[in-house]
């Protein structure tokens, strides 16, 4: 990859749980490892836990790298940090195709044309979607993206990770997963294959090389219009060198960064910090 065509990004994603009493044990799954694929190459990846624990890795149904671990002794702190170094590339122009092509491709994409927990549209969203369908799939996708971006204001605290597309649309506000869920609901309603992508986003378009900044755990969508292509609905931009993909699925429920349970009566406080550095 030519350095003129992309970035090299170092990512540190720390999730910390502080318990107000001992947790007897905890059982966790992590989706923090960036992928190596067409538009990015994971050069280094590592997950560090405190307390230290043996790790077990596997690839889930959606192709996401999962690290699982158990802490089998009492602890009052659990810290999980995913570290990675990733080469990313600029965005490509999307392909276009016919609706007949979409229909043929959909025969092998049942998971990405059927609605799921957070993306099942109600009557209002279904009606909106029907009015967005254009003669060509790519134009339809662009209309869906524009409508989704314009329908929500970015606002923290209004929604949660369990908010559906219908609820976010009714609120008129949300965060990245809400923008993604809304676009997925509209796309699938018109028969356009679409999937949820989790990862990271560097917020500075002209990032200073070597400067560490506060980044974001982020979400965007990919739609199939002859091939898969990604678009960041929240920031209204193509997925390119500032994006690092980690996981894909039907919605947020398929790709949570940290998922787990613990034994004990202690309450916990969770803190998350994402730091990103453009190194080249």
- Tens digits of per-residue pLDDT, 123-141? 999 999 999 999 999 999 9
Q: How far apart are CA 102 and CA 121, in angstroms?
A: 20
Choose among 77, 103, 66: nearest CA to 22. Answer: 77
Alpha-helix runs per DSSP H in the chain: 99-106, 110-113, 123-132, 137-151, 165-171, 176-189
Is a pLDDT exceeding 90 seen at residue 209? Answer: yes
pLDDT value, residue 2: 42
pLDDT value, residue 4: 56
Average pLDDT of every residue of the chain: 95
Which CATH code is given to the segment(s) 99-254? 3.10.620.30
Q: What is the pLDDT of residues 78-99, one digit of tens each?
A: 999 999 999 999 998 999 999 9
**Rounded (5°) CA angle 55-56-59:** 135
Half-sphere exposure of 136 (CA within 13 A, CB side): 9
Mean pLDDT of 5-9: 92
For the entire predicted model, the pTM comes to 0.95
Identical topology for domains 3-89+257-278 and 99-254: no
Q: Class for domain 3-89+257-278, per CATH?
A: mainly beta
Torsion of CA 167, 170, 175, 179, to 10 degrees: 90
Q: How far apart are CA 209 and CA 277, in angstroms?
A: 7
b/e 127-142 (16+ beta carbons within 10 angstroms → b): ebbeebbeeebbebbb
Choose among 245, 201, 188: nearest CA to 62. Answer: 245
Choose among 280, 90, 276, 91: nearest CA to 200. Answer: 276
Pairing mode, strands 173-174 and 153-154: parallel
Mean pLDDT of 48-59: 96
Domain boundaries, the chain: 3-89+257-278, 99-254
Mean pLDDT of 223-237: 97
Half-sphere exposure of 159 (CA within 13 A, CB side): 26
Is a pLDDT exceeding 60 seen at residue 72? Answer: yes
Q: Tokens 């699982």 belong to which residue?
A: 68
């Amino acid at each position: 990859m030519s350095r003129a065509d992309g970035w090299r990004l170092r990512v540190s994603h720390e999730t910390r749980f502080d318990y107000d009493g001992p947790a007897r044990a905890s059982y966790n799954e992590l989706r923090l490892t960036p992928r190596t694929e067409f538009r990015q190459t994971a050069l280094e990846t590592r997950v560090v836990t405190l307390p230290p624990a043996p790790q077990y890795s596997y690839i889930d149904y959606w192709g996401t790298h999962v690290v699982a671990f158990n802490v089998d002794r009492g602890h009052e702190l659990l810290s999980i940090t995913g570290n990675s170094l990733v080469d990313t590339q600029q965005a490509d122009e999307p392909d276009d195709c016919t609706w007949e092509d979409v229909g043929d491709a959909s025969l092998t994409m049942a998971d990405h044309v059927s609605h799921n927990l957070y993306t099942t549209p109600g009557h209002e969203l279904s009606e909106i979607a029907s009015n967005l369908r254009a003669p060509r799939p790519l134009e339809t996708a662009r209309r869906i993206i524009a409508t989704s971006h314009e329908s929500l204001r970015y606002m923290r605290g209004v929604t949660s990770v369990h908010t559906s597309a219908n609820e976010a649309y009714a609120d008129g506000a949300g965060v990245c997963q809400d923008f993604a869920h809304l676009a997925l609901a509209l796309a699938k309603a018109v028969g356009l294959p679409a999937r949820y992508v989790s990862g990271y986003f560097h917020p500075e378009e002209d990032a200073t090389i070597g400067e560490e900044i506060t980044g974001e755990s982020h979400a965007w969508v990919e739609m199939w219009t002859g091939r898969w292509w990604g678009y960041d609905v929240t920031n209204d931009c193509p997925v390119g060198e500032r994006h690092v993909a980690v996981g894909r699925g039907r919605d947020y429920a398929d790709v949570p960064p940290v998922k787990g349970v613990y034994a004990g009566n202690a309450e916990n406080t969770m803190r998350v910090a994402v730091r990103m550095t453009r190194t080249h």
